[in-house]
């Protein structure tokens, strides 16, 4: 097992090594651009040893905010043929060009932690960022909330690309007409750890549909081929609203609008409860079916201050089936796979978000257990993109920025 001091040094080296000047790539090769939520986690990691660099990361991300407030999920700073689909496929506009969808809105959550760590150093940055974060949250409320519940229009918008949550919605997407294309991810990473070709065909079909609408987000929502509620994004957005309101209050802003959004999201929480599953669940708005998957969405409820005693026992039972952190899919589910991306592996970054929830709800023992398991997993498997939750072995890309960041901010701390 590697020592903490060595891992601290290695984590910093990874963040420095993935720094492309103002923005950080998730990892060299597999992901050569700026990804929205990866970038915010990188900023959080940088904040432990280079606070000015941390704020620059978020500023660079928000520099690509669209006129309607959306902060895109990928910013293609420098064209790199090692990634597909690139800016020519997305046609999301912007300079630098971007994708046409967003990603889970973690910025306000982590920016608040960074700011509260050193208010003087962060005051100018947070003051400039605040109205931009408000505009992004407004975009979510206008374009990605249906009847009070957060939705995603593409599995990539959830950040959990191939998790079982999306199986019903994906089954309704026709991927048969996307033509020939050359995936690059499987040239970097073992194909058994990545989504399947049938998934990629459908991912592309959804991109082509949005592109054909000129990424008019009202049309993407109303007419796109995929639309599912996402409890994970819902709870992240709700927590981010609470944090944004807290930031705004500290800055002397009128936060009534932000509080109103939080109220709307909070009031809709019971609508995400699937009684058959006994947990918060994703729902396919196209086919009218619950995902019936005990997944990340349920685990993230604590992050938003939501607790449900009926669910706790279900969740801890699932957790007890693995050894290293929270599995991204139910270990007792029929399609559980400990190595395939979001269909079972443990993600240090998700464990950290879930732990923020445990801290909020006073679940100290769970927080300590999750931190210990995540630290052990990193000691065994290194700074991998994600890990096998049964044996801690590394999966996906190596030298990953967000896993390094989670080590520095939480998993590697006593
Ligand atoms: C990918 O390419 O795997 C990404 O998750 C898309 O955002």
**Per-residue pLDDT tens digits for 198-226:** 999 999 999 999 999 999 999 999 999 99
- Mutation test residue for ligand 1: of 25, 26, 31, the one with most atoms within 8 Å of CB: 31
Partners of 290 in the β-ladder: 283
Q: Locate the ligand 1 atom nearest the alpha carbon of residue 84 and give its number.
A: 2
In the residue annotation, 385 being an active-site residue is answered as yes
Percentage with pLDDT > 90 across the chain: 98
CA 116 to chain CA centroid, nearest Å: 22
Ligand 1 atom 4 nearest Cα: 156
- State the pLDDT at residue 3: 84
pLDDT in tens, 223-280: 999 999 999 999 999 999 999 999 999 999 999 999 999 999 999 999 999 999 999 9
Span from the CA of 386 to the centroid of ligand 1 (angstroms): 14
Residue 27 pairs with which residues in a beta bridge? Answer: 31
Q: What local confidence, expressed as pLDDT, does residue 24 receive?
A: 98
CA distance 39 to 102: 13
Q: Residue 381: what pLDDT?
A: 98
pLDDT exceeds cutoff 90 at 324: yes
Q: Catalytic: 142?
A: no
| Cα dihedral 80→83→85→86 (10° resolution) | -10
Q: Which of 38, 167, 373, 385 is catalytic?
A: 385
Instruction: Provide the mean pLDDT of the chain.
Output: 97
Please tell me whether residue 94 adopts helix, strand or coil conformation: coil
Determine the distance separating the centroid of ligand 1 and the alpha carbon of 156, expressed in angstroms: 6
- The enclosing H or E element of 280 equals strand 279-280
**What does the pLDDT look like over 65-83, one tens digit per residue?**
999 999 999 999 999 999 9
Half-sphere exposure of 343 (CA within 13 A, CB side): 17
101 Cα to the center of ligand 1, angstroms: 12
Taking only Cα atoms into account, the Rg of the chain, rounded to an integer number of angstroms, comes to: 20
The upper half-sphere exposure of residue 137, i.e. CA atoms within 13 Å in the direction of its Cβ, equals 30
pLDDT at residue 163 above 90? yes
pLDDT confidence of residue 2: 65
> What value does the mean pLDDT take over residues 296-316?
95
Find the catalytic residue in 57, 161, 230, 284: 161
Beta bridge partners of 77: none
pLDDT, tens digit, 9 for 90 and up, residues 82-116: 999 999 999 999 999 999 999 999 999 999 999 99
Say if residue 14 is exposed, middle or buried (CB neighbours under 10 Å; 0-12, 13-18, 19+): buried
Distance 118 CA to ligand 1 centre (A): 33
Residue 414 has pLDDT above 80, yes or no: no
Rounded Cα distance, 103 and 3, in Å: 34
Over residues 44-73, the mean pLDDT reads: 98
Take atom 7 of ligand 1 and give the residue whose Cα is closest: 156
Average pLDDT over residues 57-70: 98
Q: For position 275, what pLDDT does the model report?
A: 96
| DSSP H helices in 19-100 | 36-46, 51-62, 87-90
Q: What is the distance between the alpha carbons of residues 107 and 131, in angstroms, rounded to a whole number?
A: 13
Q: List, chain by chain if needed, residues with CB within 6 Å of any ligand 1 atom.
A: 73, 156, 161, 185
Beta strands in 136-243 (DSSP E): 145-146, 149-152, 228-229
Does a cis peptide bond (omega within 30 degrees of 0) precede residue 208? Answer: no
Whether residue 16 has pLDDT greater than 60 = yes
Helix or strand or coil: residue 228? strand
């Amino acid at each position: 097992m590697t020592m903490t001091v060595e891992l601290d040094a290695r984590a910093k080296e990874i963040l420095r090594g993935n720094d492309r000047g103002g923005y950080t790539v998730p990892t060299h090769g597999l992901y050569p651009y700026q990804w929205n939520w990866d970038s915010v986690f990188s900023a959080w990691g940088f904040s432990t040893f280079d606070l000015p660099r941390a704020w620059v990361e978020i500023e660079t991300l928000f520099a690509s905010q669209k006129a309607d407030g959306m902060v895109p999920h990928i910013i293609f700073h420098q064209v790199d043929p090692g990634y597909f689909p690139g800016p020519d496929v997305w046609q999301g506009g912007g300079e630098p060009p971007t994708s046409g969808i967003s990603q889970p809105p973690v910025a306000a959550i982590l920016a608040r932690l960074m700011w509260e760590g050193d208010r003087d150093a962060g005051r100018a940055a947070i003051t400039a960022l605040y109205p931009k974060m408000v505009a992004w949250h407004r975009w979510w409320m206008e374009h990605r909330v249906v009847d009070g519940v957060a939705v995603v229009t593409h599995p990539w918008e959830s950040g959990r690309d191939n998790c079982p949550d999306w199986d019903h919605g994906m089954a309704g997407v026709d991927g048969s007409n996307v033509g020939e294309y050359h995936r690059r991810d499987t040239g970097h990473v073992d194909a058994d750890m990545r989504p399947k070709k049938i998934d990629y065909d459908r991912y592309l079909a959804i991109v082509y549909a949005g592109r054909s609408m000129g990424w008019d987000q009202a049309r993407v929502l109303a007419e796109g081929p995929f639309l599912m509620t996402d409890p994970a994004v819902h709870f992240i957005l709700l927590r981010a609203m609470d944090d944004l309101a807290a930031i705004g209050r500290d800055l002397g802003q009128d936060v009534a609008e932000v509080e109103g959004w939080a109220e709307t999201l909070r009031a809709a929480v019971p609508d995400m409860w699937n009684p058959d599953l006994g947990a918060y669940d994703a729902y396919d708005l196209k086919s009218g079916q619950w995902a019936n998957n005990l997944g990340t969405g349920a685990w993230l409820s604590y992050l938003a201050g939501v607790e449900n005693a009926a669910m706790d026992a279900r969740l801890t039972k699932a957790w007890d089936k693995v050894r290293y952190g929270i599995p991204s899919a139910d270990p007792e589910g029929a399609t559980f796979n400990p190595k395939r991306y979001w269909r079972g592996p443990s993600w240090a970054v998700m464990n950290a978000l879930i732990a923020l929830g445990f801290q909020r709800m006073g679940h100290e023992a769970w927080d300590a257990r999750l931190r210990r398991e995540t630290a052990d997993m990193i000691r065994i498997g290194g700074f991998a993109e994600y890990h096998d939750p049964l044996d801690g072995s590394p999966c996906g890309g190596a030298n990953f920025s967000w896993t390094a960041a989670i080590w520095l901010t939480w998993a590697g701390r006593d």
